Amino acid sequence: MVHATTMKEIARQLGVTVSTVSRALQNHPSIGLRTRERVHELAKQLDYVPNPTAINLKRRRTYNIGVVLPALTEQFFSMAISAIEDVAIGKGYSVVVMQSRNDYERERLAISNLVKHGIDGIIVSLASETQNNSHFLEVNKHGIPIVFFDRVAKNMPNSCVYVDLTAGAIEAVEYLVARGLTKIALLNGPGTLQATDERLKGYVTVLNKHGIAISRPYVRSVNLTKEDTAKKMNELLDLDEPPQAILAFNDYVALDAMQVCRQRGLVINQDIHFVSFSNLPFCSYLEQPPIASIEQFPYEMGTKAIQLLLPAIEDPQHYTPEKVIIPYQLIVRE
């Protein structure tokens, strides 16, 4: 059974032409009832499955959507992709995944592979090291729609979905200040990400508002690896005046940093307090989770991303890009 049955085979066995078979299978009215039935019957009997590649060639579509993100193993992204898949499947699309591993070159390659492979549209969350949009401009030139989500590219005309992290950071820091914690450090992400700028902006805003001096050594950026986070956290704890609280770039950074604290004998939520972004489900299993988290609703973001992408694919003429901001929510744990 190495060759699948084709319409040609059905046509041959029935003594009709391929076009008749095609129309019969589509129940086209110009095909006689008798012929239509014979075609359907033989098709079923031969386990006929239409060749999607041939159909795609005519339709000039692949019904594949590429998704490029830093890492599938980060729950934030797997939730987003899960959402994308849920919507896509319902609309007849499949989802092709590629990981950038936060590496610029891998991201370029992933994008290029997707284009070469044939996809109708792309959803991207930037690699932390990406500082150049040329590969995306290339995709735009080919008329393939892109939607950025969460880690969006700066200065690109495409649609994007993200959370207002500045506002989130503001509420988070306000919360810490309100609890009397004023020595607040920021374990921020890579400088290349817009998300990093936004967290910093919120952090600075609140401290300024409350007249709290901003200590340079309190603001550090990590490259999102466990090692770098540990290094930066240790540096913070080695300061003459170590912080009472940490605003972490995301849950992974918070957890890695918390581990350092525990190793140094500090008690979480007592000696030192954490607030982080994402609020991933596994945080609920921790005995001492961050006292507050900013929920970013990855599922909703993924859903919105593909809802923006599909019209761009299906009706490019009437499509205008949109910047969608998903509301965050500060989750406070007792």
Which residues of this chain interact with its own copies, rule CB under 8 A? Answer: 1-2, 4, 47, 49-54, 56-57, 62-64, 71-73, 75, 78-79, 81-82, 85-86, 89, 94-99, 109-110, 113-118, 141-143, 255, 258-259, 262, 281-282, 284-288, 316
Angle at 276 between CA 72 and CA 304, to 5 degrees: 50
8 binds, among its own copies, DNA, none (CB under 5 to 8 A by kind): DNA
Does the protein bind DNA through residue 7 (CB under 7 A)?
Answer: yes
Beta strands at 121-124 and 64-69: parallel, antiparallel or unpaired: parallel
Other Cβ atoms within 10 Å of 322 Cβ, number:
15
Query: Dihedral of CA 295/82/163/185: which sign?
Result: positive
Q: How far is the CB of 55 from DNA (least distance, A)?
A: 5
- Among candidates 311, 328, 302, 324, which has minimal Cα distance to 123? 302
- Among candidates 185, 175, 174, which has minimal Cα distance to 257? 185
Does the protein bind DNA through residue 54 (CB under 7 A)?
Answer: yes
The per-type count for the chain, helices as H runs and strands as E runs, is 12, 12
- Among candidates 144, 142, 99, which has minimal Cα distance to 119? 144
- Please, which of residues 11-30 interact with DNA by CB under 7 A? 15-20, 22-23, 25-26, 30
Q: How far is the CB of 1 from its own copies (least distance, A)?
A: 4
Among 2, 3, 44, 90, binds DNA (CB under 7 A): 3
Cα–Cα distance measured from residue 44 to residue 49, given in angstroms and rounded to the nearest whole number: 9
Cα–Cα distance measured from residue 23 to residue 19, given in angstroms and rounded to the nearest whole number: 6
120 binds, among DNA, its own copies, none (CB under 5 to 8 A by kind): none
Does the protein bind DNA through residue 8 (CB under 7 A)?
Answer: yes
Closest to DNA by CB, 17 or 132: 17
Among 1, 2, 58, 317, binds DNA (CB under 7 A): 58
Binding site for DNA (CB under 7 A): 3-4, 6-8, 15-20, 22-23, 25-26, 30-36, 48-51, 53-55, 57-58, 60
